Amino acid sequence: MTGALRVLEHDLRFYRQTWRGTLTSTFVSPVLFLAALGLGLGTFVDQSGTEVLPGVSYAEFVGPALLMTQAMQAAIFECSYPLMGKFEWRKTFFGILATPVSVGGLFAGEVMWLSFRLAVGAIGFFVALVLFGLVSSPVGVIAIPVAILTGLGFALPMFAFTATITKDEPFALIFRFIQIPLFLFSGTFFPIDQLPPLFAAVAWLTPIANGIYVARAATLGTLDASALPHMAIVMAWVVVGAWVALRQTRRRLVV
């Protein structure tokens, strides 16, 4: 396990050098999104009636969902080009494995790093939500760990995928054809039951739709046992994703 901590330490030292570049995506864009969609668009939505929303303002509806989609985007991005660098371009992982650190330790360290990275983004966004007055219950703070887990639900399958490729072309396709539809149609901007039944059923299989359900209930103060099956689906993505990712990482690095 010390191996994992060393890997995390290395990533953090690297982050200390490069964190400024992540400021915009972590703290500025949440504010912009909340202002434009929550306040700007929200004013129109609220004026034309919110029967379809569970009796809350549009900003309250969309705020926690944006927290989740930001986690999703950060997770997918972090496991695309930066991870590709560690496997392929810079071969960082091969350098690490020449030391006493094992593949398991390396992988655990990377998961710790991803969790840290997701936590920074989630906390930043949550603070913005509070400042905008969109968190109506102290229970809302649960949205932060939910964001981290939802992010891992994307990061780990993505990790598994990146471990198997040597060229970066697929990333652009993933951003365009997986990430953007999920951003738009996972109950972020309108309730999932507005979708055609087949699409709704597919949406409910993804980590993001379920994460949004739980986070929204948390910030609205309506969290109850109905959240459990949703968390179970998120956790399933995390656990299966971790298993496959570790397997693919071993296959890639131990040859």
Partner 1 sequence: MSSQPETAPLVAARGLTKRFGSFTAVDGIDFDVARGEAFGFLGPNGAGKTSTMRMIGCVSPVTDGTLSVLGMDPARDGPLIRARIGVVPQTDILDDELSTLENLIVYGRYFDIPRAESRRRAVDLLEFAQLTDRAETRVQTLSGGMKRRLTIARSLINQPELLLLDEPTTGLDPQARHLLWDRLYALKRRGATLVLTTHYMDEAEQLCDRLVIMDGGRIAAEGSPRELIEHHSTREVLELRFPEMAGEEQRDGHIDAVLADLGDRIEHLAERVILYTDDGEAASIAVHERGLRPESVLVRRSTLEDVFLRLTGRTLID
**Interaction site with partner 1 (CB under 8 A):** 2-3, 6, 9-10, 13-14, 17-18, 90-92, 94-102, 254-255
The pair of structure tokens assigned to 21 is 């570049």
Nearest distance from residue 13's CB to partner 1, in Å?
Answer: 6
Q: For the chain, what's the residue count?
A: 255
Closer residue to partner 1, CB minimum distance, 19 or 177 = 19
DSSP-derived secondary structure for the chain: -HHHHHHHHHHHHHHHHHGGGGHIIIIIHHHHHIIIIIIIIHHHHHHT--TTTTSS-HHHHHHHHHHHHHHHHHHHHHTTHHHHIIIIIS-HHHHHHTSS--HHHHHHHHHHHHHHHHHHHHHHHHHHHHHTT---SGGGGGHHHHHHHHHHHHHHHHHHHHTT-SSSHHHHHHIIIIIHHHHHHTTTSS-GGGS-HHHHHHHTTSHHHHHHHHHHHHHHT---TTHHHHHHHHHHHHHHHHHHHHHHHHHHH--
Shortest approach of partner 1 to residue 163 CB, angstroms? 16
Pick 12 or 35: Cβ nearer partner 1: 12
User: C-beta of 14: minimal distance to partner 1 in Å?
Assistant: 6
Shortest reach from residue 3's CB to partner 1, in Å? 8
Could you tell me which of 177, 174, 241, 175 has the C-alpha nearest to residue 207?
241
Q: Name the minimum Å distance from CB 96 to partner 1.
A: 6
CA 63/CA 219 separation, integer angstroms: 9
Between 228 and 254, CB nearer to partner 1 = 254
Choice between 3 and 187, CB closer to partner 1: 3
Nearer to partner 1, 54 or 95 (CB): 95
Nearer to partner 1, 13 or 167 (CB): 13
Tell the smallest beta-carbon distance from residue 164 to partner 1 (Å): 17
In angstroms, give the least distance from the CB of 119 to partner 1.
22
Nearest residue (CB) to partner 1, 103 versus 148: 103
